[in-house]
Structures are given as C-alpha cells and as structure tokens.
Amino acid sequence: MSNGGDDTTVDYRGQRVRLVTGVRFDVLVDAFELAVPELSDADALARLAEAGDWTGFVRELAWESPSGFFRVWSSRPGELMRHAGSAVSSVVWLIANHGIAARLFRHDPAAMLYSPLRIEAHALSGTSASAEPAASGTLVSFDVPSAQLRGFDVNKITQAGAELDRALGDLLEDIGLPRPTALRR
C-alpha cells in the first residue's frame, strides 16, 4: 500500500536515570504498586461515565492516588526471561497522570509517545555482567519526562514535562527513595 506522505526526523536529547537502591526488589514492587493504583483504559472510561465530565473524573482520581499516577500497564519480563537462562527479577510499568496527559494531548497528540511514563525495576543480586559481586537491592530506571517532551519545542508541553518531573520525584520520595538529581527543580 502506497498512499504517499512526508516524514520528518526530530533530534532531541534524552536523559535516563538509573537509581540504585538498597531496597529488596519485592519490597520496592509492593511499595510502588500500593502508591500507584492500577487503572485500565476500560476502567477509566467507566469511571469517566460515572463522574460525568473530565474535571470530575480527574478530581476523583486525585483522591485515590495522591501522586496523580496510575498504572495503566505492567509486565514481568523476568518471569519470561527465566526460560532464556536469566535469573533476574524485573518489572516494567507504564504510569499515567491523566490530568497532565490531557494537556499534552491537547497541544500535540504525538506527545503520547512519552505519556504514560515507562519505569523499569530489577533486582540487583548475584554477580554483575563483569562477574564482580553486585550490590543487593533494586535498580530503578526511567527516562526524564521533561527531556523527552522538550523535543516537541512547544512551551506548554515543556511545562507539562517539568510537572511530570516534579510528580515523579514526589512519588519516588513517597515510597522512600531519594529524588534523583535530574528531577530536582
């Protein structure tokens, strides 16, 4: 199928945070999932219908999740990768702040490439790739929202990215982790 079209490539600079914690993997996962409730698209649509309007819906969500974030998807790749010979426990979450996402979408629907945010956590134990003893605890990785969203070169999207940075830093502190330098403003 060929219907023609034009493409544009946009270069931007991203930042990835790797936060090494002394927290056991299962403890960190439990804390994160308690702080960030699950909300599927189907559930969100049903709750939106009950709330009657977007403002009421977002207000209701704020009562349920003080951070403003909800888990909209999760995966446990470590379980699958065990069959490929890896023994590392891992989880990947997509978390959304629906209020901020609505503003991003209004200014450029393509901003949904970076909202919801993707967060990966995996256990640190055993040996590292270099066969050196690895630290025990959990490594949490994510891209800095404002760094990705700055690439749209739209002031309102850049501001929303800074809000996501702040909210993500607050969430990490709420579950007992330090706020990474990249999320300090």
pTM of the model: 0.90
**Domain 16-183: homologous superfamily in CATH:** TT1751-like domain (3.30.310.70)
Per-residue pLDDT of the chain (185 residues), as tens digits, is: 678 888 989 888 899 999 999 999 999 999 999 999 999 999 999 999 998 999 999 999 999 999 999 999 999 999 999 999 999 999 999 999 999 999 999 999 999 999 999 999 999 975 445 445 456 899 999 999 999 999 999 999 999 999 999 999 999 999 999 999 999 87
Q: Which amino acid is at 17?
A: V
What pLDDT is recorded for position 135? 61
pLDDT for 44-79, tens place per residue? Answer: 999 999 989 999 999 999 999 999 999 999 999 999
Q: Let me know: does 39 contact 71? Beta carbons within 8 Å.
A: yes
**DSSP assignment string, the chain:** ---------------EEEEEESS-HHHHHHHHHHHS-B--HHHHHHHHHHH-SHHHHHHHHHHH-TT--EEEEEE-HHHHHGGGT----EEEEEEE-HHHHHHHHHH-GGGGGSSSEEEEEEEE-SB-TTSSBPPSEEEEEEE-HHHHHGGG--HHHHHHHHHHHHHHHHHHHHTTPPPPGGG--
